[in-house]
Structure formats: C-alpha cells, structure tokens
Amino acid sequence: MTRPIVGIICNSHLLNDQYPAHAGGTMNSEAVAQVTGAMPVLIPADPRFVSVPELLEMCDGFVFPGGRPNVHPEEYGEPETEAHGAFDRARDAIALPLIRACVERGQPFLGICRGFQEVAVAMGSTLHPEIRELPGRMNHRMPPDGTLEEKFALRHKVTLTEGSQFHEVFGATEVMTNTLHGQGIKNPGPRIQIEGTAPDGTPEAITVRDAPGFTLSVQWHPEYNAAEDPVSRPLFEAFGCAVREWHAEGARPGLKSVG
C-alpha cells in the first residue's frame, strides 16, 4: 500500500543572501515521515508555480509550518507597520485559499506557528503584531542565544478546554510546550475555536468550528523531537489517522474531485 502524501508548505528563502529558494525545515519532513506515516512533499508556496486545485488533488493532507515572515496585515484588513516584520506574500496567496478549501472539503491539515496564524486569518481572525508588548503578556519569542535544544526547550504550559479535540488527542487538560513566536491572535474569527491558552491568555491551540475534517493548529513547534515528545507524538499520530482516512476514501473514483 502506498503512503498517503502530505504537502508541506515551503517558505521563500535566500541562500547565501542572494540565491532564491523554497525552504522547508527537515524537522517537519521527519515528523511527517516517522510519526504521521505519510510521504512528505515540499510545496513551493508561490501561485506562479502551483495552484490550489492541483494541490488538493495531489495531496491527502497538508502541514502549514512555521516561518520567519508573517502573514501580511492586509489579509485581515489592517495597515502594515514596522512591528509586523517581514512578509511572504507568495505564501499568503497559496496558504490562505488552500486552508479555506481544505476546511470546505474536510481535507486534513495541521497548522504550526505561522501556519496556526494562517488558519486563524483564513477564518477571519486578526493578529497582534508583537504580543510581548501587550500588558500582562509574556515573551513568547525564541531565545536569541543557545543551542537548538535550548531554543526548542519546553517553556510554558498550555491549558486545554476539557472535552475539546485537543483534550481528546492528548488525554490531558495541561501540556508543556516550547514557544518561538512573536505574533498571536487578537480577535478570533467566528469559526475559530480556541481550545488551548498559555498562562498569559495567549491562544495556543485552535480548531475550525463545524469543520468536517482535521483542522488542529498549534502556536508552538511540535515538529521538534516529534517522535519522542509526549505531546508532539500524539498530535502527529492523530493527524496521520486523518490523512490515512482521506487517502483511503480518496481512492474511490470521483470522491476527491475539485470543482
């Protein structure tokens, strides 16, 4: 039996500050291959090269991973400011409509960090450009120094809503996570269900309300040490179950056709 295919959305990147590339973190591919049990395929997130209908037909599920550029505030009706940082408008142009199409079709996806924010924006949310500047909020950004292990170390708990999808996946109402993000949800869209928060109230785990498929998205980085971490592994395993189910059902002619 062939493995299901999970498309991992890439980021625009410059190698040696001058050679254009599409980049995807090895951790994401490793988590998809080893824990989800699917074949990872890196997707160049640029509408010049791929289209949403083509991606929906090719892949059984998607990972929207983290990335240094942020979703452009024009996507949620706000002006660009210096606090919003760098952008990747090509990724915006693929990721946001792809998320909406997946929600409508019930096609599974997992949002991670920037991907979490993409899901929120695609479903009508707005974002804070820099949550550490808000009164009472903690600094959720990656530590500037240290080894990779220190940067991805567990730093705060996330409290999950009892009876939520995340509670079901983790079998707990509290989990420990890393934290490497600067932005966060300001006003959640009408279909965004916040199922987990940090101690300072920052939304950390969301689903799309009334969506027919898997839409779990997290503000932390579960791809790090995914095979061993007691929180990351069940999240990727649950995503894998949804992807395999889509793959099996999609094998029937016409089920996955895109209008």
pLDDT value for 254? 44
Based on the structure, what is the number of domains in the chain?
1
Q: DSSP 3-state assignment of 181?
A: coil
pLDDT of 233 reads 98
Return all residues near 31 (Cβ < 8 A) that are at least 6 apart: 222, 223, 226, 227, 232, 236
Six token digits for residue 258: 């895109």
Q: Is the pLDDT of residue 107 over 90?
A: yes
Question: Could you tell me if residue 83 is inside a domain?
Answer: yes
Helices marked H in 70-142: 89-105, 114-122
Inform me whether the pLDDT recorded for 217 exceeds 80: yes
More confident residue, 3 or 81: 3
CB atoms inside a 10 Å sphere around CB 201: 15
Assigned token pair, 115:
């991907």
Q: Is residue 256 part of a domain?
A: no
Neighbours of 16 (CB within 10 A): 6
**pLDDT bracket for residue 255 (50, 70, 90):** very low
| Predicted local confidence at residue 82, as pLDDT | 75
So what's the pLDDT on residue 150?
A: 84
The domain containing residue 69 runs over which residues?
5-250
Distance CA 259, CA 216 (A): 25
Q: Are strands 184-185 and 192-197 parallel, antiparallel or unpaired?
A: unpaired
8 A C-beta contact, residue 199 and residue 223: no
Question: pLDDT: is 241 or 181 the higher one?
Answer: 241
- How confident is residue 1, by pLDDT bands cut at 50, 70 and 90? low
Helices and strands: H and E segment counts in the chain? 7, 13
231 C-beta neighbours (distance < 10 Å), count: 21
- Which tens digits make up the pLDDT trace of 138-188? 878 877 777 888 888 888 999 999 999 999 999 999 999 999 888 899 999
Which amino acid belongs to residue 44?
Answer: P
In a domain, 38, yes or no: yes
CA distances 212 to 107, 140, 246, Å, are 8, 31, 12
Would you call 226 exposed, middle or buried from its count of C-beta atoms within 10 A (0-12, 13-18, 19+)? buried
Average pLDDT over residues 1-12: 92
Identify the CATH number of the domain in which residue 223 sits. 3.40.50.880
Tell me, yes or no, whether 34 lies in a domain. yes
The mean pLDDT of the chain is 92
Please report whether residue 60 resides in a domain.
yes
The verdict on residue 75 lying in a domain is yes
